[in-house]
Structures are given as structure tokens and as C-alpha cells.
């Protein structure tokens, strides 16, 4: 069965630190990958998505992610975090032609001012 | 556009009571979804509707029923609520993004349900 693993459950960083959140999936076919963010008390919003082409994807608010097919990974990065990045981050995968999304369990990021 | 809307925002039920969570989208999306979010477990798919007139079970369908009333509306019903159904419920919708059939989801604001 397809699955998505986010190994970091809680991350605490100081402002201006660099961020990398891990995401690994298990599926051998063509995948489409997403990162969503959930700010406190709000609904999920799309940060970025990968469908095909350039494996380095840039999203909103300075976030980027790199798809490494050989490692089944889609890690999220940001060079310098801000206090306002405090949120929960979810990785999700779907395969072409399917309707179901598989979400990871999420990573709670706390950025200290 | 309002996007995806959900009602109610909060609800407290007693064990055994029933209720229906409403969801509507105004983006002309074909597919709609119901998830529950529990601490440490991420989002789990309850039911989804690939298109108007169809519904399918997701990962955790037991204790729930759904109705795709029309293209805009997708409701979730708890027939006999149990404390294990205490959760935050999110509705989402999506439509085809490109020919390969990738789907970006848009989420509603959620319903926080407590069953005592």
C-alpha cells in the first residue's frame, strides 16, 4: 500500500535558521507530490506541488522542495525561517489518474523569535 | 469566490446522537473529499466523491455515510455518534490540473466535533 512518512514530528528553530523537513513515500510508479501548510486554527493551504519536469520546485513564501526519485523523497526547504512560519506541514502524494491523496502525519514547526 | 465552506464550525454531541456536516464548493470542481484530523495521525480520508453521482470509501469509513447532493455539495453524516469520532473534520475539493490527471486539493475551514 502507498504510504508517506514524515520523520520529524516536531521541529523547533530560531528565526533565520535554515529548515529542511523530510518526506518519503512508497510507490514505484509516477507520483504527484504536494506540501501543505496549516497555520494555527486554520485550514490546510497548498505550499507547492510537483507534477513533472524540474525536480526543484519553488512555492510560496520562499519555500522550495526537491524531488529525488531514486530516494523516493520530496523534502521541503527554506533558507531562513521566520516566526510566521510556525505551523504544521503535511506532505501528500497522489498517483496520476487517481483521486485519493495519501497524507503524511505532519511536522509541527515552531520558530522562536 | 468563497472556495470551500463548511457548517457548522463547532458541534458538541452526546453519544448516540446523529448529525450531518455540510460542505459546499463554488469552484466547479468534480471531486470532493471528507477527512478527519487527529493529533499525531495527520489527515485520514473518510469518503470521497470522484464526480457527481459517485461516492467511495476511504481509509476510515466506519460510522459515517455521505451524500453527493449535486456537484457543489457533499455532506457527511454520523448516524450514531461515538466518542472515537471526536475530531476535526475537513472537506476538500479538487479538479483536474493537467492531462496526466493530477489533482490539487482546496480545503474548507473545518468542523471541530466533540462527542461526549
Strand, helix or coil for residue A71 = helix
User: Cβ A46–B104 below 8 Å, yes or no?
Assistant: yes
A21, A25, A99: which to substitute to probe chain B, counting the most B Cβ within 10 Å? A99
For residue A11, pLDDT beyond 60 = yes
Closest CB to B43 among A90, A96, A98 = A90
User: Cβ A105–B41 below 8 Å, yes or no?
Assistant: yes
For B98, name the nearest residue in chain A, comparing CA atoms only: A51
Closest CB to B42 among A30, A96, A103 = A103
Check residue B99 and give its pLDDT.
Answer: 57
CA–CA separation, B65 vs A23, rounded Å? 32
User: Cβ A90–B104 below 8 Å, yes or no?
Assistant: no
Report the 10 Å Cβ neighbour count for A30.
13
For B40, name the nearest residue in chain A, comparing CA atoms only: A105
Chain A residue numbers touching B33 (CB-CB < 8 A): 101
Instruction: Cell 489533482: give the residue.
Output: B103
Segments of chain B scoring below 50 in pLDDT: none
Check residue B102 and give its pLDDT.
Answer: 64
Chain A residue numbers touching B109 (CB-CB < 8 A): 42-43
CA–CA separation, A81 vs A85, rounded Å? 6
Check residue B98 and give its pLDDT.
Answer: 59
Check residue B100 and give its pLDDT.
Answer: 58
Q: Please check whether residue A23 is in contact with residue A75, taking contact to mean a CB–CB distance below 8 angstroms.
A: yes
Closest CA to A23 of A41, A43, A52, A48: A48
Check residue B101 and give its pLDDT.
Answer: 59
Mean pLDDT of chain A: 92
Residue A44's pLDDT band (boundaries 50, 70, 90)?
A: very high
Closest-CA distance, A31 to chain B, in angstroms, reads 9
User: Cβ B101–A98 below 8 Å, yes or no?
Assistant: yes
Nearby residues of B4 by Cβ (< 8 Å), 6 or more positions away: B23, B24, B25, B27, B91, B92, B93, B106, B107, B108, B109
For A101, name the nearest residue in chain B, comparing CA atoms only: B45
Q: What is the pLDDT of residues A73-109, one digit of tens each?
A: 999 999 999 999 999 999 999 887 677 788 999 999 9
Check residue A101 and give its pLDDT.
Answer: 85
Check residue B62 and give its pLDDT.
Answer: 96
Average of per-residue pLDDT across A37-60: 92
C-alpha gyration radius of chain A: 13
Amino acid at each position: 500500500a502507498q504510504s508517506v512518512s514524515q520523520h520529524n514530528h516536531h521541529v523547533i528553530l530560531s528565526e533565520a535558521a535554515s529548515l529542511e523537513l523530510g518526506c518519503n513515500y512508497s510507490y514505484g510508479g509516477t507520483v504527484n507530490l504536494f506540501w501543505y501548510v496549516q497555520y494555527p486554527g486554520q485550514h490546510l493551504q497548498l505550499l507547492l506541488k510537483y507534477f513533472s519536469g524540474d525536480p526543484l520546485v519553488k512555492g510560496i513564501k520562499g519555500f522550495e522542495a526537491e524531488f529525488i526519485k531514486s530516494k523516493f523523497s520530496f523534502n521541503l526547504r527554506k533558507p531562513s525561517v521566520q516566526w510566521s512560519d510556525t505551523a504544521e506541514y503535511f506532505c501528500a502524494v497522489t498517483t496520476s489518474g487517481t483521486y485519493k491523496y495519501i497524507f503524511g502525519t505532519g511536522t509541527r514547526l515552531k520558530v522562536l523569535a | 469566490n468563497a472556495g470551500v465552506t463548511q457548517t457548522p464550525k463547532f458541534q458538541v454531541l452526546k453519544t448516540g446522537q446523529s448529525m450531518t456536516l455540510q460542505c459546499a464548493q463554488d469552484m466547479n470542481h468534480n471531486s470532493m473529499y471528507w477527512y478527519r484530523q487527529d493529533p499525531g495521525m495527520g489527515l485520514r480520508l473518510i469518503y470521497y466523491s470522484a464526480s457527481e453521482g459517485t461516492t467511495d470509501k476511504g481509509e476510515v469509513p466506519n460510522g459515517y455515510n455521505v451524500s453527493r447532493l449535486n456537484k457543489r455539495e457533499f455532506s457527511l453524516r454520523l448516524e450514531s455518534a461515538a466518542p472515537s469520532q471526536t475530531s476535526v473534520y475537513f472537506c476538500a475539493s479538487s479538479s483536474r490540473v493537467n492531462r496526466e490527471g493530477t489533482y490539487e486539493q482546496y480545503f474548507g475551514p473545518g468542523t471541530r466535533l466533540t462527542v461526549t
